[in-house]
Amino acid sequence: MLTISTGNKAVAAAVKQAKPAVVAAYPITPQTEIIEQIANYVAAKEIETEYIPVESEHSAMAACIGAAVAGVRTFTATSSHGLLYMHEMLHWAAGARLPIVMANVNRSLGPGWNIWAEHTDAFSQRDTGWLQVFVGTVQEAYDATLMAFRIAEDERVILPTMVNLDGFSLSHIMQSLETVEVGDFIPPHHLTHAIDVDNPMGYGPMTGPKDYYRFRWDIERSMRDAKTVIAETEAEFASRFGRKYGPTEDYRCEDAEVVVVSMGTLGREAEVAVDILRNEGVKAGSMRLRWFRPFPDLDLKGREVVVVDRDYSFGFGGVVAASIRAKTGIECYNVIAGLGGQEVTYDDIAEFVRTRRIGEEHWFGVSE
Residue range 156-187, pLDDT digits in tens: 999 999 999 999 999 999 999 999 999 999 99
Tell whether 188 is covered by a domain.
no
| Tens-place pLDDT, residues 24-75 | 999 999 999 999 999 999 999 999 999 999 999 999 999 999 999 999 999 9
Question: Are residues 78 and 213 located together in one domain of the fold?
Answer: yes
Window from 190-194, 197-201, 262-266 with minimum mean pLDDT: 197-201
Closest C-alpha among 145, 74, 68 to residue 105: 145
Tell whether 217 is covered by a domain.
yes
* Residue 307 to residue 300: CA distance in whole angstroms: 12
Tell whether 138 is covered by a domain.
yes
* Residue 91 to residue 79: CA distance in whole angstroms: 17
Tell whether 196 is covered by a domain.
no
Q: How confident is the model at residue 360 (pLDDT cuts 50, 70, 90)?
A: very high
Looking at the structure of the chain, the number of domains it has is 2
Question: Are residues 237 and 319 located together in one domain of the fold?
Answer: no
Question: Are residues 141 and 277 located together in one domain of the fold?
Answer: no
Taking residues 233-255, report their average pLDDT: 98
pLDDT score at 203:
78
Domain that holds residue 355: 249-363
3-state helix, strand, coil in the chain (%, to 5): 40, 20, 45
Question: Are residues 313 and 219 located together in one domain of the fold?
Answer: no
Tell whether 189 is covered by a domain.
no
Question: Are residues 153 and 288 located together in one domain of the fold?
Answer: no
For residue 368, is pLDDT > 70?
no
Tell whether 144 is covered by a domain.
yes
Question: Are residues 50 and 102 located together in one domain of the fold?
Answer: yes
pLDDT exceeding 90 applies to what percent of the chain? 96
Question: Are residues 103 and 231 located together in one domain of the fold?
Answer: yes
Question: Are residues 139 and 49 located together in one domain of the fold?
Answer: yes
Question: Are residues 233 and 255 located together in one domain of the fold?
Answer: no
Question: Are residues 22 and 170 located together in one domain of the fold?
Answer: yes
Question: Are residues 18 and 110 located together in one domain of the fold?
Answer: yes
* Residue 6 to residue 170: CA distance in whole angstroms: 7
For residue 4, is pLDDT > 80?
yes
Q: How confident is the model at residue 313 (pLDDT cuts 50, 70, 90)?
A: very high
Question: Are residues 352 and 330 located together in one domain of the fold?
Answer: yes
Q: How confident is the model at residue 201 (pLDDT cuts 50, 70, 90)?
A: confident
pLDDT score at 311:
98
In the chain, at which residue ranges do the beta strands (DSSP E only) sit? Answer: 2-5, 22-25, 50-53, 74-78, 101-106, 131-134, 161-166, 175-178, 248-251, 258-262, 284-289, 291-293, 304-309, 333-336, 361-363
Instruction: Please report, for residues 109, 341, 345, the alpha-carbon distance to residue 116 in angstroms, rounded to integers and kept in the order given.
Output: 9, 5, 16
| Tens-place pLDDT, residues 96-105 | 999 999 999 9
* Residue 335 to residue 308: CA distance in whole angstroms: 5
Amino acid at 40: N
- CATH number of domain containing 329: 3.40.50.920
Tell whether 197 is covered by a domain.
no
Tell whether 187 is covered by a domain.
no
